[in-house]
Structures are given as C-alpha cells and as structure tokens.
C-alpha cells in the first residue's frame, strides 16, 4: 500500500491528496497509481531474472487504455481472453509478438483477428479450437503458433469461482488427452505447436499448487519434445494472490524460487500472465457517503458506489480494506452498502469501518484488478471515472459515463 499513504493526516496516491481527485473527478472514481503498477510489474519481471522469460499482463484484470499503455511501455506483454481485449491491447501499443490469447470459447472472428495481428500464440483449450485454427490459418494463408492449455488437475486452494486447474473445470485440455491431440496436430499444415500453457486459478496464496502443476506442465514439455515437437515456450499462467486482509502471500521471487529448477531444466522460454498481482494494489475506489442509517441493531453507511462498480464483495464475499481520507477517523461497526436495489449490494459487511458522515469520501483499497473491468450498468448506473496518478500529476483516463451512454445502440422499432 506504499503508493497510497497518509501524509499530513490526508490519504494520498503518490503525491496527490485523494480529496483533490474526489473533488475534481467526482465519486465514485477509480484511482490508479503509476508507481504501484511499475513497482509490481518490475517485481515480477525481476523474479524471473536469469531465465529467458516474458511477463504478460492479464488484460481482463484492468483493461484501461492508459494502464495498458503504461505496462506496454515498461516492456510487458499482454494476456488476452477475447477479441475485445485484442483490440484494446493493440490500441494500447502492445507488440503483437508479445500477445498470448487464452479462453475456452474463442469465436472464428476472434481467431481470425489474432491470426491477422500475428500474435505470439494461441493458448488452445480444445480439439475443436485447434481444428478451427488450422482451417482458418490455411484459408487466410497464415501460420498459427499454438500452446496447448493443459488442465493439470491441481486444486489451487482458492475460491471455487476462480479455480481453473482442477479436473472438473471447463478450462484447458485434460492432461491425458494432450498427447493424442498433439499427435493429431502433426497432420495440420498451418499449426505450429510451440508451447505448453497452464493457468490454475486466481488469488492463489500458496506455492505448492504451482510447484505441482508446473512440474506436470514441464513433464509434458519433455514428453512432447521426445515425440519430435519443437516446444519452445512454457507458460505458467497467472494467479499470484495479493494481501486483501491478512493473507500470507508468497512474493513473486518466492514463487519463482520454488519452481526455478523446473523452469530452468525445461530449457523453454518462460511466460507468465499476472493480472491481479500487478494491478490490484495499484488501485482504489473512491466513494462518497450519501447517508447514514440504522435498521434494528445494524448500522449502514450508504455510499455512491455499489456492486455494479465493484462486484467482488458481492460475488466472492471478498474483503476490501476501507480507509477514510482523513486519518484517525473513529471506527464504527457497520455495513458499507451501495445504492443498487439488491440485498447483496455491499462493499463491506459487518465490519469496523470509518465512522463517516454524509459527504465524506472513503477509499476502498486494492481495487485496481477486477474492479472497473467487472463493472456494469446495472440499475442504469453510469460507470465511474478512472484516474491515473503519476507523482504529483493526475489525469482522468476514462470519463465517467453519462446518461446517453446508457442507451447507446438501443433502438425503438417502427412497430411500436
């Protein structure tokens, strides 16, 4: 939380008091720290030093163009999961040679777009997708570089909604089917099988599941090589957790040290796809307090940000620290809730929270990943502004939506 800190009793992002941003950009607003993005990216980058590697940023964690541009300029690659993310990544200036494309349901249009940009590789998740790629690449005179996304059958020990590497998951190719699929790919003229990919889940706070799954993936690299495939990449995915509350999370260095022998022995170029670790701590959601109220024994702080702006608490029961902009506020037992017409609309539930009054602004911390990117217009609420801070400068990097944005593309037919 170093880039978000109290100075003179006032919460700052880098050198900018958050009061200034709340006044200038309004609330709710997401605020991102350039320095925090840079620090986390470099930390991951340096953890892999000594290995041939590329750190990709998982665009779905935070797809803001300015955030992406910052990371692309630092040398990051991009991990994308849709054609829309490919579009964003290209507009942000990522080198297509550093783009990897995952996802279980890539459409023909999305595969074509990836081929057209000559991205580094597709992380293929099914036999059908591989056949599709072969046909499209042949049709358009392209070559498709491919990694097989393996389902290593490892439980990452995280929330079930964000576990992806267990046997029952829809993601990846079951490890025991990967070899036969690879053999079939030998008959394909336009597909180059060059990598093995895994991504076992998100907000992983233990090293052991990584060690186990990386060993399985590395064994597959060896097996494929022994069968004549020129496997040059081992993609270990993302998922490294962050400290939202009191989780003991491994650092990138600790993670890489645990798997370094396996990575080094693979002789492959190592790719990773961190999203949350890079963007999560770099963002806060500023929300204004509208009302205070009580119901029975319960005390509510009603804020202007709700589950449509930050869905993690409602969706996963996720914990986000809530800080007052002025240090030393009294604490009170309360729920921090939004204006959305759902009982599940809360940012914090039954917690010791700043005893904020109407008109105060609160900062919901660690909201830089899966915050704005999961925001919706539910209840016809315009999505919040996004702000990027760099030292003493700040800029709105996405305007707050306006009412006309809410009905853009909607049409009333003539038969009404």
Ligand X SMILES: *Cc1c(COP(=O)(O)O)cnc(C)c1O
Binding site as annotated, residues for substrate: 276, 312, 316, 342, 370
Shortest Å distance, C-beta 238 to ligand X:
3
Shortest Å distance, C-beta 240 to ligand X:
6
Is 276 near ligand X (CB under 6 A)?
A: yes
Q: Out of 61, 89, 236, 256, which residue is the one contacting ligand X (CB under 6 A)?
A: 61
Residue 104 structure tokens: 């279980």
Please tell me the distance from the alpha carbon of residue 376 to that of residue 382, in angstroms, as a whole number: 8
Shortest Å distance, C-beta 123 to ligand X:
7
Site string for ligand X, 219-258 (x = CB under 6 A): ------------------xxxx------------------
Active site residue 341: yes
**Residue 334 · residue 353 · CB < 8 Å:** yes
Please tell me the distance from the alpha carbon of residue 331 to that of residue 317, in angstroms, as a whole number: 21
Write down the catalytic residue from 13, 56, 272, 341. 341
Which C-beta is closer to ligand X: that of 314 or that of 373? 373
The residue whose two tokens read 């020129």 is 230
Q: Which ranges of 48-80 would DSSP assign to H, the alpha helix?
A: 65-73
**Residue 123 · residue 171 · CB < 8 Å:** no
Q: Which residues contact 238 (CB under 8 A, 6 or more apart)?
A: 58, 79, 199, 202, 272, 273, 274, 275, 276, 277
Shortest Å distance, C-beta 203 to ligand X:
6
Binding residues for pyridoxal 5'-phosphate, as ranges, are: 239, 273-276, 370
Report residue 306: phi and psi, to 5°. Answer: -130, -165
**Region near ligand X per CB under 6 A, out of 54-62, 222-230, 347-355, 382-390:** 54-62
Q: How far is CA 178 from the centre of its chain?
A: 27
Work out whether the CA dihedral 313, 316, 317, 318 comes out positive or negative.
negative
Please tell me the distance from the alpha carbon of residue 379 to that of residue 308, in angstroms, as a whole number: 8
Q: Out of 11, 29, 40, 58, which residue is the one contacting ligand X (CB under 6 A)?
A: 58
Q: Which ranges of 198-338 would DSSP assign to H, the alpha helix?
A: 208-226, 252-266, 276-279, 312-316
Which residues partner with 147 through β-bridges?
123, 195
Which C-beta is closer to ligand X: that of 238 or that of 306? 238
Is 106 near ligand X (CB under 6 A)?
A: no
CA dist 15 → 10, 33, 328, 330 (Å): 11, 10, 20, 25
Is 216 near ligand X (CB under 6 A)?
A: no
Which C-beta is closer to ligand X: that of 149 or that of 351? 149
**Region near ligand X per CB under 6 A, out of 57-65, 111-119, 260-268, 321-329:** 57-65
Site string for ligand X, 332-371 (x = CB under 6 A): -------------------------------------x--
Q: Out of 11, 71, 81, 130, which residue is the one contacting ligand X (CB under 6 A)?
A: 81
Q: Could you list the active site residues?
A: 341
- Site residues (vs ligand X, CB under 6 A): 58, 60-61, 79, 81, 102, 199, 202, 237-240, 273-277, 369
């Amino acid at each position: 939380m170093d880039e978000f800190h109290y100075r003179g009793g006032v919460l700052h992002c880098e050198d900018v008091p958050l009061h200034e941003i709340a006044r200038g950009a309004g609330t709710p607003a997401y605020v991102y720290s350039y320095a925090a993005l840079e620090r986390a990216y470099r930390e991951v980058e340096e953890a892999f030093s000594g290995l041939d590697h590329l750190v990709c940023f998982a665009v779905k964690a935070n797809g803001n163009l300015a955030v992406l541009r910052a990371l692309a300029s630092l040398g990051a690659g991009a991990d994308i999961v849709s054609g829309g993310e490919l579009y964003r990544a290209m507009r942000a200036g990522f080198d297509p040679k550093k783009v990897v494309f995952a996802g279980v349901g890539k459409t023909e249009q999305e595969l074509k777009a990836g081929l057209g940009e000559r991205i580094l590789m597709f992380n293929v998740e099914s036999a059908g997708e591989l056949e599709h790629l072969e046909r499209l690449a042949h049709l358009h005179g392209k070559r498709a570089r491919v990694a097989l996304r393996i389902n290593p059958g490892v439980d990452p020990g995280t929330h079930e909604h964000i576990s992806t590497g267990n046997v029952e998951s829809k993601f990846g190719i079951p490890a025991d089917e990967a070899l036969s699929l690879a053999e079939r790919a030998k008959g394909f003229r336009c597909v180059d099988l060059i990598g093995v990919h895994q991504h076992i889940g998100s907000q992983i706070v233990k090293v052991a599941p990584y060690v186990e799954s990386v060993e399985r993936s590395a064994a597959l690299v060896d097996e494929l090589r022994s069968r004549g495939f020129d496997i040059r990449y081992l993609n270990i995915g993302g998922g490294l957790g962050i400290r939202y509350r009191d989780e003991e999370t491994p650092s990138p260095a600790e993670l890489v040290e645990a798997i370094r022998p396996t990575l080094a022995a693979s002789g492959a170029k190592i790719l990773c796809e961190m999203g949350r670790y890079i963007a999560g701590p770099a963002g806060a959601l500023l929300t204004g307090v509208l009302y205070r109220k009580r119901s029975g024994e319960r005390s509510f702080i009603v804020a202007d940000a709700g589950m449509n702006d930050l869905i993690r608490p409602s969706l996963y029961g996720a914990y986000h620290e809530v800080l007052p902009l002025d240090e030393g506020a009294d604490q009170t037992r309360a729920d921090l809730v939004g204006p959305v017409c759902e009982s599940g609309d809360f940012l914090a539930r039954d917690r010791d929270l700043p005893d904020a009054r109407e008109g105060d602004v609160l900062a919901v911390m660690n909201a830089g990943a899966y915050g704005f990117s999961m925001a919706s217009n539910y209840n016809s609420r315009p999505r919040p502004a996004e702000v990027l801070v760099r030292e003493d400068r700040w800029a709105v990097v996405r305007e707050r939506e306006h009412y006309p944005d809410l009905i853009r593309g909607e049409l009333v037919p003539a038969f009404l």
